[in-house]
Amino acid sequence: MHPDNPLYQRRRSPTATELDAIPWIQLLAAPERERAVDDLKIADACPGDYICRMGRPVTYWFGVVDGLLKMSSDTAEGQTMTFTGVPPGGWFGEGTAMKRETYRYNIQALRKSLVAGLHVDTFHWLLDHSIGFNRFVMNQLNERLGQFIAAREIDRMTNPNIRVARSLATLFNPVLYPGVGAVLRITQQELAYLVGLSRQRVNEALTVLAEQGSIRVEYGGLRVLDLQALRSQVFQGK
């Protein structure tokens, strides 16, 4: 968070409940946990707020306690390309933080969200001192690689049903997004933003997936009934 960012002005210490929603905290030894908790900050992000922006130097490693963010970049033609959504439990930007680079993407809140931040200096201290933290970050990087390979494949798919199915499978990744569980709190309009389709076309795709028994559309979100079936359908569309 940059000092000029409204989120920086709204930062505060996390509550005990919010700490419980951070997946890597429990992997730390007592001294490591104490240092991390002392440094962690929580901020309330409003729809449209930027958590980080392209070209800005990294200052924090971020995670979603509650809500939904989107990762995107701006093309030379002035268009916005969305890479993925970041639901609860998701932490992002570890590669940028490790190299202390500037951001190559924008992270923006799609709805009111709770965002956690760990200062990049503390991030590096944990890398130097915590085996559990290193394993978490290594798993993140491994899963992230697979996620972006999948994102490239989605961009080449012309079948809207398969695009929606693949995107949903990505958002239900239990390693990257352990806070999602079986129900993803997302509206059809938010999913449309992430997939790059119209809301009407997303609605049609969700109807097909529901009829196949892979998901169930519930009030305020989507429940996965058979994640493997959802992934299998995606792969059939290659």
- Number of domains forming the structure of the chain: 2
Asked whether residue 78 falls in the same domain as residue 110, the answer is yes
Query: The CATH number of the domain where 142 resides is what?
Result: 2.60.120.10
Q: Radius of gyration of the chain from Cα atoms?
A: 18
Asked whether residue 140 falls in the same domain as residue 195, the answer is no
pLDDT at 23: 94
Asked whether residue 72 falls in the same domain as residue 129, the answer is yes
Q: Given a cut of 60, is residue 141 above it in pLDDT?
A: yes
Distance CA 140, CA 162 (A): 25
Query: Predicted confidence band at 156 (pLDDT cuts at 50, 70, 90)?
Result: low
pLDDT: which is higher, 119 or 81 = 119
Percentage of residues of the chain with pLDDT beyond 90: 58
Q: Given a cut of 80, is residue 234 above it in pLDDT?
A: no
Query: The CATH number of the domain where 169 resides is what?
Result: 1.10.10.10
Asked whether residue 133 falls in the same domain as residue 221, the answer is no
Asked whether residue 164 falls in the same domain as residue 90, the answer is no
Distance CA 219, CA 228 (A): 23
Q: Given a cut of 70, is residue 167 above it in pLDDT?
A: yes
Q: How many residues does the chain have?
A: 238
Asked whether residue 174 falls in the same domain as residue 200, the answer is yes
Asked whether residue 141 falls in the same domain as residue 92, the answer is yes
Asked whether residue 42 falls in the same domain as residue 129, the answer is yes
Q: Is residue 14 part of a domain?
A: yes
Asked whether residue 96 falls in the same domain as residue 202, the answer is no
pLDDT at 226: 83
State the average pLDDT over residues 159-173: 86
pLDDT at 82: 77
pLDDT at 174: 86
Which residue, 148, 166, 194, sits at the end of a domain?
Answer: 148
pLDDT at 132: 96
The mean-pLDDT minimum among 151-155, 197-201, 226-230 falls in 151-155
Provide φ and ψ at 48, rounded to 5°.
95, -15
pLDDT at 195: 86
Q: Is residue 161 part of a domain?
A: yes
Q: Is residue 47 part of a domain?
A: yes
- Beta-bridge partner residues of 119: 60
Q: Is residue 98 part of a domain?
A: yes
CA distances from residue 144 to 38, 48, 126 in whole angstroms, order as listed: 28, 24, 20
Give the residue numbers spanning the domain of 14: 6-148
Q: Is residue 1 part of a domain?
A: no
The DSSP string of 198-222 is: -HHHHHHHHHHHHHTTSEEEETTEE
44-58 per-position pLDDT tens digit: 999 999 999 999 999
Q: Given a cut of 90, is residue 84 above it in pLDDT?
A: no
Asked whether residue 32 falls in the same domain as residue 72, the answer is yes
For the chain, what is the mean pLDDT? 87
Q: Given a cut of 80, is residue 214 above it in pLDDT?
A: yes
Q: Mark residue 79 as left, alpha or beta (left: phi above 0; alpha: psi -120 to 50; beta: remaining).
A: beta
